[in-house]
Amino acid sequence: MDIDSYIAGLPKAELHMHIEGSLEPEMMFSLARRNGVQIPFANVEALRAAYDFSRLQDFLDIYYQGAAALRTEEDFHDLALAYFDRAAADGVVHSEIFFDPQTHTARGLPFKVAADGLLAGMAAAEAKHGLTSKLILCFLRHLPEADAFATLEAAEPWLDRIVGVGLDSSELGHPPEDFTRVFAAAGALGLKRVAHAGEEGPPDYVYQALDRLDIDRLDHGNRSLEDDALVARLAKQHMTLTVCPLSNLKLCVVRDLAEHPIARMLRLGLRATVNSDDPAYFGGYINDNFRAVAPLLGRDELTTLARNSLLGSFLPAQDIARHIAAIDAYVAGTDAS
């Protein structure tokens, strides 16, 4: 079996995917039309041509503009289901999706619109594909911690359907330690904690995410590799890193996929996973990301990435065991063929 077919059939989880970042230009224009919203681009081609980024902020400026097309629960439902259709076709059995409520409440949408719309899309995907999912509420780090607290308060009626909180948006100049209190409050409410750190920010931001935010998972984490003691610590505590190869290429975190650190991460004993981040903006869904790094890895390492994705998920242990058994069966079946 060739490597692309092997990747396609491999059961996997996705742990780092911003649902607003799965808004394809075609859907952005059709939602904008449906909602009477103006998009500052003439057409789909002009919009795609603008997806030429040299740093995270270039992308974020366009990503927040694009989210303005989303206005109703139905929009969020349709957005989520379109992503889950793509994910299911890529062999994703479970996905833990991020959403940015502040991007929507700042435009006057009640918290309920995004939350209930996404939850409806998640239920539809489970019924349609058997694909399970969880929802992670991200705080925007370019806004003050007080706004994050207000968001956590607005989320209160939904907290039984939200697995955890995350930290995203502009990393440089917005260190994790600025969100120490709101992460502690989220932890006290029984929520898991994840944070983007070490995408553009230094290893110190990763230490802060560990020591101040008490994270359960590290989003990106690339720059951890600059600090051997940090790598040893992450490996020792089996910290899951949600790595996003095509995102790293598009945002110039790496110059070339041949230099992508995923192979080094695995060989250093880090629990790395592969994810799409913002697939509509970065040129591909999860299997595109697996294929992008496949030349750097052996087949066993591709399988390790899939196993890591289940081990790093927030699923109950028995569900993780069931999915790992399916990966083992897949490997045994493909060895025989």
Q: How far is the CB of 21 from ligand ADE (least distance, A)?
A: 5
Is 199 designated active site?
A: yes
DSSP 8-state class, residue 203? H
Query: Based on CB atoms, which residue is closest to Zn ion, 78 or 277?
Result: 277
The closest residue (CB) to ligand ADE is 168
Which residues ranging from 215 to 254 are in contact with ligand ADE (CB under 6 A)?
A: 247
Query: Based on CB atoms, which residue is closest to ligand ADE, 115 or 195?
Result: 195
By CB under 6 A, residue 277 contacts ligand ADE: yes
Token reading at 98:
């991020």
Among 12, 13, 18, 261, contact with ligand ADE (rule: CB under 6 A): 18
CA R_g for the chain:
19
Token reading at 297:
């890895």
Query: Based on CB atoms, which residue is closest to Zn ion, 163 or 327?
Result: 163
Q: Using CA atoms, how far apart are residues 200 and 219, in angstroms rounded to an integer?
A: 12
99, 18 Cβ separation under 8 angstroms: yes
Q: Using CA atoms, how far apart are residues 310 and 333, in angstroms rounded to an integer?
A: 20
By CB under 6 A, residue 169 contacts ligand ADE: yes
Please work out, in degrees rounded to the nearest 5, the angle formed at the alpha carbon of residue 251 by the alpha carbons of 248 and 254.
45
Residue 169 binds which of ligand ADE, Zn ion, none (CB < 5-8 A, kind-dependent): ligand ADE
Q: Using CA atoms, how far apart are residues 70 and 35, in angstroms rounded to an integer?
A: 8
Identify the active-site residue in 199, 226, 259, 301.
199
Q: Using CA atoms, how far apart are residues 242 and 217, in angstroms rounded to an integer?
A: 8
Q: Using CA atoms, how far apart are residues 330 and 242, in angstroms rounded to an integer?
A: 23
Among 231, 278, 304, 307, contact with ligand ADE (rule: CB under 6 A): 278
Q: Using CA atoms, how far apart are residues 332 and 66, in angstroms rounded to an integer?
A: 44
Q: How far is the CB of 253 from ligand ADE (least distance, A)?
A: 9
Among 168, 186, 287, 310, contact with ligand ADE (rule: CB under 6 A): 168
By CB under 5 A, residue 277 contacts Zn ion: yes
Site of tokens 């799409």 = 276
Residue 199 binds which of ligand ADE, Zn ion, none (CB < 5-8 A, kind-dependent): ligand ADE
By CB under 6 A, residue 14 contacts ligand ADE: no
Among 11, 21, 101, 284, contact with ligand ADE (rule: CB under 6 A): 21
By CB under 5 A, residue 200 contacts Zn ion: no
Element of type H or E holding 52? none
Token reading at 57:
């902020």
Q: How far is the CB of 223 from Zn ion (least distance, A)?
A: 15
Give DSSP secondary structure letters for 81-143.
HHHHHHHHHTTEEEEEEEE-HHHHHTTT--HHHHHHHHHHHHHHHHHHH--EEEEEEEEETTS
Among 199, 261, 291, 303, contact with ligand ADE (rule: CB under 6 A): 199
By CB under 6 A, residue 175 contacts ligand ADE: no
Instruction: Point out which residues bind Zn ion (CB under 5 A).
Output: 277
The catalytic residue positions are: 199
Instruction: Point out which residues bind ligand ADE (CB under 6 A).
Output: 18, 21, 56, 168-169, 196, 199, 247, 277-278
